[in-house]
Amino acid sequence: MTVSRKKLVLVGNGMAGVRAVEHLLKLAPEAYDITIFGAEPHPNYNRIMLSSVLAGGASMEEIIINDLEWYRSNNITLHTRQTVTSIDTVNRKVVSDGGISAPYDELILATGSDPFMLPLPGADKEGVIAFRDIKDCEIMQETSKSYKKAVVIGGGLLGLEAARGLLHLGMEVSVVHIHHYIMERQLDEAASAMLRKELEGQGMKFLLRKQSEAILGKKRVKGLLFADGSMEDADLIVMAVGIKPNVALAKTGGIEVNRGIVVNDYMETNIPHIFAVGECAEHRGIAYGLVAPLYEQGAVLAKRLAGAATEGYAGSVTSTKLKVSGVDVFSAGQFSEPEGSRALRFQDEIDGIYKKLVIQDDTLIGAVLFGDTSDGAQLFSMIKNKETVKGKEKELLLGISADALSSSGGGNRLEAMAEDEIICGCNGVSKGAIAEAIQSGGCTSVGEIRSCTKASASCGGCKPLVEGLLQLYAGDAAVTVKEGICGCTPMSRDEIVAEIKRMELKSVKEVMNVLGWMQEEGCSKCRPSLNYYLGMLWPEEYMDEKESRFTNERYHANIQKDGTFSVVPRIYGGITSPAELKKIAEIAEKFEVPMVKFTGGQRLDLLGVKKEDLPKMWEELDMPSGHAYGKTLRTVKTCVGSTFCRFGTQDAIGMGVRLEKEFERLNAPAKVKLAVSGCPRNCSEATIKDFGVVAIDGGWELHVGGNGGVHVRATDLLCVVKTEDEVVEWASAYLQYYRENAAWNERTSNWVERVGVESIKKALEKPEERLALQKRIQTTLSRMTDPWKQIVNEPELRKNFEPIAIAQSETV
């Protein structure tokens, strides 16, 4: 007899609601037909990692929690770009703004929260945004290409992460805060001062005790006026002053609303069969804005819907972790020293470490850590479990000892944790999920647990707890392995490359099979890296695996937020001609390109190109691709040098064009940028490039390992040479040595810091070694052809670019 399934509708495709669905699928996989409505065009993604996307530490692909295949495999109907606008609580159905109607037996409201926008005069001007979703990130990224001055209103957690991301994008950033010190809700004044000093060193400017009065400008923002009469120039204003639960939909359905949607301990609203979870929900008067409480709510709701026993949700003790550009900050519980408490502090100004513990009645009730947050997860567990710390106060302050996993009563603190307690807040992984991975899934290392559950896969702060659980459940079977390139393998980059060479492995699939990959198809981290390593090792034999490349590299253009693409033809050394400019302009008009923009790399960017127009546009341009999207040579920036400039000592233009033609289309572990300056005045910024050439009287200085990104790094001087041929020889040797020894996705700046410039000098000091490296790079370059020649000439490949209808709603 077939049991009919109930209909479950989830409004909101965010972290809290989908987490509840994940739990429900494990508890009662056949109980419901599930429909999900999401206002954004994306599948479920990790919103707390947006700051990493903005700061360049993660790609959009890397923060996706559940891809579209997950919805398909679980028979979930997903409607993207659809906002539910009404609830019929009598007939039990919801209707979206796109006219989609869905009946329900049970309804979950997970509508999240909206950013609080200060009601300032001028707040509706262009260039005033929040920092809440992918769209906001895209606006910041796009704005940074044309404007330079950003103001962030709000010196809390979100504001500082937005500010750090804007600095990475090359903008000047001022943080405006009404309080007299930053992050006052999470830090005491001492830790805040240390954080401020560190961020100021990175280029952030702070305007404290400032009350915003009005936003200046006509159509677009031009500045911010303060109540004291002073003002700050601004091309972009980001408001990060708080969030408010999104309760608009609940109100239309007659659901009880206070600050948030009012729920009981089982996440039930006052209307039968309607639940609320996440930032939109208010439980016992509290609306939580951190991910761990939301996941705890989701676990309770899943049990309720599955008919499983649950004690309900009783509220959460919260913690906060901030990581911006290498600065680690952690706080939990009551750090402000309530009456009757006592505090222990440790401060090391030399190493930049600060620790504070707040104790009341021999119980740890709060903690603040700066610079070293390795003990954060364990301290947080002690706060939540209200354990006695009598006699261990100093030990805790100076660092949790090796036996700290054992509580004072002799039992194991991790063993005493509830099964549904969240261990990994970033990915919502509970203690029970990790235990199951170890006991039933056979995981015996942290890497295997990470691959199976995603625990410790994001910020890594929970790794000590994961290691503790591994010891608890695996015992002697637990193994400590060196961290691999991803969760699919425990092998390092060097081990993989050595095995590929030793066994002469020639395909990605072969590498995974022979080297025992834990995930049969690999992941978005290892597939591109293996594709690169194979091409680097076997340049004459290996056929590039297009499916292992990212979208931009497959289509040879940068995908934009609206699904169109950006085309950048190569303009050698930034030198063009009237005829070439005329051709580009005519093609831009023919294909109705919305914007043509000069890039920072001295070339033209055609923005807004339709996918189906890409092959024909490249065919008519008949110009090499500028590879503005790949891990390859991007640009060679030049000044006019001795050709025109009265200060120029060498032909910078000629040298730059020669280098660009020498190395165009060269695949590398990461993007590579070159520059040539005609004199030490360095107008082309050669000393913050991966390889920079600076002309001097009678020769050239060669500089390596520079970066103008999130970690600005000046180059190291590699050597001084006399001729242009020597420049090419050393550049060839250096780039090939980098190709053969750096890890995938490792910029030259990180690589040079890791191995040391002296070791590179030693590797390249012998002429015969340089010539051997030059020969190998020339072998690789001889097989590189412009991808557009192949696509234009092969009809089968052109089919990949046929138009695909993008529906407002995607059902999977």
Cα–Cα dist 184/176, whole Å: 14
Query: 593: which 2 tokens?
Result: 């390109």
Other beta carbons within 10 Å of 199: 23
- Least confidently predicted of 51-60, 328-337, 347-356: 51-60
- Cβ neighbours, 10 Å, residue 592: 10
- What is the percentage of the chain residues whose pLDDT exceeds 70? 89
Instruction: Say whether both 667 and 808 belong to one domain.
Output: no
Task: Please indicate if the annotation marks 683 as binding a ligand.
Answer: yes
Neighbours of 242 (CB within 10 A): 15
Q: What's the pLDDT at 805?
A: 36
State how far the Cα of 187 lies from the Cα of 183, in Å rounded to an integer: 6
Residues 531 and 566 grouped into a single domain = no
Q: Judge whether 280 is annotated as a binding position.
A: no
pLDDT of residue 461: 64
Task: Return the CATH number at 599.
Answer: 3.90.480.10
Residue 363 in domain: no
pLDDT surpassing 80 at residue 326: no
459 is in an annotated binding site: no
In this structure, is residue 237 part of a structural domain? yes
Q: For 458-511, write each residue's pLDDT tens digit.
A: 656 677 788 889 888 888 888 776 666 777 888 888 889 999 999 999 999 999
Residue 619, pLDDT score: 86
Q: Can you tell me the distance from the alpha carbon of 269 to that of 262, in angstroms, rounded to the nearest whole number? A: 6
pLDDT > 50? residue 433: yes
- Name the nearest CA neighbour of 485 among 740, 755, 744, 671: 744
Domain that holds residue 530: 493-549
What residue spans of 352-492 are helical by DSSP H? Answer: 376-385, 393-398, 413-416, 431-439, 446-453, 463-474
The pLDDT tens digits for 630-646 are: 888 999 999 999 888 88
Amino acid at position 121, single letter: P
- Integer Cα distance of 625 and 108 in angstroms: 48
Final residue of a domain: which of 549, 570, 593? 549
d(CA 254, CA 388): 46
Query: Cα 48 to chain center, whole Å?
Result: 9
First to last CA, the chain: 28
Q: Is 518 helix (H, G, I), strand (E, B) or coil?
A: coil
pLDDT tens column, 653-691: 999 999 999 999 899 999 999 999 999 998 999 999 999
> Does some domain include residue 465?
no
Residue 749 lies in a domain: yes
Q: What is the pLDDT of residues 52-72, one digit of tens each?
A: 777 666 677 778 888 888 999
CB atoms within 10 A of CB 488: 24
Residue 383: predicted pLDDT: 86
Question: Is the same domain home to 655 and 752?
Answer: yes
CA distance 409 to 728: 69
User: Are 621 and 718 contained in the same domain?
Assistant: no
Say yes or no: 602 and 660 in one domain: no
**Residue where a domain terminates, one of 202, 224, 241:** 241
Mean pLDDT of 23-34: 94
Query: 268 and 164 in one domain?
Result: no
Give yes or no for a contact between 202 and 179, defined as CB atoms under 8 angstroms apart.
no
Residue 521 lies in a domain: yes
Cβ burial of 98 (10 Å; 0-12, 13-18, 19+) is middle
* Helix, strand, coil share of the chain (percent; to 5): 35, 25, 40
Q: Tokens 């360049």 map to which residue?
A: 56
pLDDT digits (tens, 9 = 90+) for 777-796: 999 998 877 655 555 555 54
Q: With contact defined as beta carbons under 8 Å apart, do 31 and 303 qualify? A: no
Question: Rounded mean pLDDT of 33-37?
Answer: 97
In a domain, 662, yes or no: yes
Same-domain check for residues 95 and 191: no
**Judgement on whether residues 252 and 160 belong to the same structural domain of the protein:** no
The owner of tokens 């979208």 is 551
Q: Residue 411's pLDDT is what?
A: 37
Given a contact cutoff of 8 angstroms between Cβ atoms, the answer to whether 735 and 708 are in contact is no
Provide the residue type at 307 as one letter. Answer: G
CATH number, domain of 137, equals 3.50.50.60
Same domain, 94 and 178: no
76 and 104 fall within a common domain? yes
pLDDT of residue 2 exceeding 70:
no
Query: Does a structural domain hold residue 90?
Result: yes
Q: For 226-235, what is the mean pLDDT?
A: 95
**DSSP-derived secondary structure letter, 241:** S
The two three-digit tokens of residue 138, written as one number: 């895209």
Average pLDDT, the chain: 86
776 and 647 housed in the same domain: yes
Give the pLDDT band of residue 809 (cuts 50, 70, 90): very low
- Do 84 and 176 sit in the same domain of this protein? no
Tokens of 251: 């109100």
Residue 645 assigned to a binding site? yes
Q: Does residue 263 fall inside a structural domain? A: yes
Instruction: Let me know: does 143 contact 172? Beta carbons within 8 Å.
Output: no
Over residues 262-282, the pLDDT tens digits come to: 999 999 999 999 999 999 999
Q: What is the pLDDT of residue 67?
A: 86
452 token code pair: 């199976």
Count how many domains the chain has. Answer: 5
Cβ contact 190:345 at 8 Å: yes
Task: Strand 342-348: give its sheet, edge to edge.
Answer: 319-324, 327-333, 363-370, 353-360, 342-348
Q: Which helix (DSSP H) or strand (DSSP E) does residue 451 occupy? A: helix 446-453
C-alpha to C-alpha distances, 495 to 117, 485, 492, 499, 528, nearest whole angstrom: 51, 10, 5, 6, 17
Nearest CA-CA partner of 297 in 480, 200, 428: 428
Average pLDDT over every residue of 249-260 = 95
296, two tokens: 């705890």
Could you tell me the sign of the dihedral formed by the alpha carbons of 784, 788, 791, 792, in that order?
negative
Q: Please report which confidence band the pLDDT of residue 807 belongs to, taking 50, 70 and 90 as the band edges.
A: very low
Q: Cα–Cα distance between 50 and 132 in angstroms, integer?
A: 8
323: pLDDT strictly greater than 70: no
Chosen domain end from 306, 340, 359: 306
Averaged pLDDT for residues 590-595 = 92
